[in-house]
Amino acid sequence: MNSEPDYHNADLKFSGTGIPSGKIIWRSPSNIALVKYWGKKPVQIPQNPSVSFTLRKSYSETEVSYSPATSGKPEMEFYFDGQRNRQFEAKTAKFFDSLSRIFPFVNQLKFVIRSKNTFPHSAGIASSASGMSVLALVLCDMERQFFGTLQKEDAFHRKASTIARLGSGSACRSVYGGLVIWGETDGVPGTSDYYGFPVNEGIHEIFAGYQDAILLVDAGEKKVSSRVGHGLMNSNPFAAARFSEARNNLAKLLQAMRAGDTETFIRITESEALTLHAMMMTSQPYFLLIKPNTLQIIERIFAFREKTGLPVSFTLDAGPNVHLLYPEAIRNEVKRFIDNDLLPFLSPKGYIEDEIGKGPEKIL
Ligand code: PMV
């Protein structure tokens, strides 16, 4: 078992007069888990390994302007979609504060953060994944620019992934493109409970350009946060069985993805989605995040697959929206299916045609 990297470094601070001003912009995508992380131990250690596709079009773009601060703590203004957002501001300030032994320079800076997402936030499209990973990338980029550390891409990404995990578990997978495992996994050297690890090598080409149409059933705020949901797994009577099943599913899914076996891929991803929601329904207090239209859509996906034999499947995040997964080669057929059969069950926001992406990008 590998141990948590120790990133505490008291040297990463500016000398009294040398506090810089400037601006950094990064884009970081969301990701969709195929085997789900649901349940954790302190500090942000998953109870089971998970694996996700990093998305391409669903991302956060975050501009961070920095200048000398005076209070000895990270100072912050946070604007989301151009509006000051006190909730995100408090959350980000707390996150930066918690990192002050890893990046002591945050205590010397005032941050003005302007962030936007290409997708609705807090609707079970992992906005915390893109939002937290982008901040982790910016902080590591600042460290690299100011202190000359993290020059090697591997070291840069590993630290960014570790920091992203501390902000939101699933965010650690967004630091990499393609298929990413988070959590120590038997038979996959390099995987860790502390950071994400890309596993694209050896994956069958059918999965390389995989598509994800995100069907927005309800783009509103969700009622139960994933933090609360994870916590309820501590007393869920089915938790131990779930954690061991996730391990089995991950091993089988990887094998299927190497072999190009879409049938097993479908069986496992759909079962994972339903199990995630079953865990919510069997927690105390129990809660439901799916909506009647979520089930309407799932029924139609089953029927479409039965009728056409095409390898379309669904997964769900912690919300009512349905992620429709399919190979690139059947894009036209699937688009027709969505437009003809599924539109009545979608919110006015419709759907986002996303696909597997290459990971974050530095803009400035
Ligand atoms: O990263 P968190 O704490 O928001 O948890 C995310 C949990 C799921 O999105 C439901 C599953 C996953 O693995 O991404």
For 260-300, what is each residue's pLDDT tens digit? 999 999 999 999 999 999 999 999 999 999 999 999 999 99
- The whole-number pLDDT of residue 123 equals 52
What number does the ligand 1 atom closest to the CA of 50 have? 13
What number does the ligand 1 atom closest to the CA of 40 have? 3
What number does the ligand 1 atom closest to the CA of 173 have? 14
Instruction: Express each pLDDT in 221-234 by its tens digit.
Output: 777 889 999 999 99
Helix, strand, coil shares of the chain, percent, nearest 5, are 40, 25, 35
Q: How confident is the model at residue 218 (pLDDT cuts 50, 70, 90)?
A: confident
| Ligand 1 center–CA 22 separation, angstroms | 33
Cα 282 versus chain centre, distance? 24
Q: Which residues of 146-171 are buried (b: 16+ CB within 10 A; e: fewer)?
A: beebbeeeeebbbbbbbbbbbbbbbb
The two beta strands, 22-35 and 361-362, are antiparallel
Does the pLDDT at position 70 exceed 90?
no
- The whole-number pLDDT of residue 362 equals 98
| Ligand 1 center–CA 66 separation, angstroms | 30
| Ligand 1 center–CA 121 separation, angstroms | 14
Q: What is the mean pLDDT of residues 92-96?
A: 96
**What is the average pLDDT score of the chain?**
95
Residue 247 burial (CB count, 10 A): 16
- The whole-number pLDDT of residue 1 equals 67
What number does the ligand 1 atom closest to the CA of 182 have? 13
Does the pLDDT at position 124 exceed 80?
no
Q: How open is the CA angle 18-20-22, to the nearest 5 degrees?
A: 170
Does the pLDDT at position 137 exceed 90?
yes
- The whole-number pLDDT of residue 352 equals 93
- The whole-number pLDDT of residue 120 equals 74
Short-list 89, 352, 95, 40, CA closest to 226: 40
Does the pLDDT at position 125 exceed 80?
no
- The whole-number pLDDT of residue 126 equals 64
Instruction: Express each pLDDT in 20-68 by its tens digit.
Output: 999 999 999 999 999 999 999 999 999 999 999 999 999 999 999 999 9
> Does 50 sit in the ligand 1 pocket, CB within 6 Å?
yes
- The whole-number pLDDT of residue 141 equals 98
- The whole-number pLDDT of residue 122 equals 53
> Does 173 sit in the ligand 1 pocket, CB within 6 Å?
no
- The whole-number pLDDT of residue 349 equals 86
> Does 275 sit in the ligand 1 pocket, CB within 6 Å?
no
First to last CA, the chain: 37
Instruction: Express each pLDDT in 12-21 by its tens digit.
Output: 999 877 999 9
| Ligand 1 center–CA 61 separation, angstroms | 20
How far apart CA 101 and CA 240 sit, in angstroms, is: 35
SS3 154: helix
Residues, the chain:
364
How far apart CA 262 and CA 256 sit, in angstroms, is: 7
Instruction: Express each pLDDT in 308-352 by its tens digit.
Output: 999 999 999 999 999 999 999 999 999 999 999 999 999 988 999
Q: Say what the pTM is.
A: 0.96
Domains and CATH numbers, the chain: 22-201 (3.30.230.10), 205-355 (3.30.70.890)
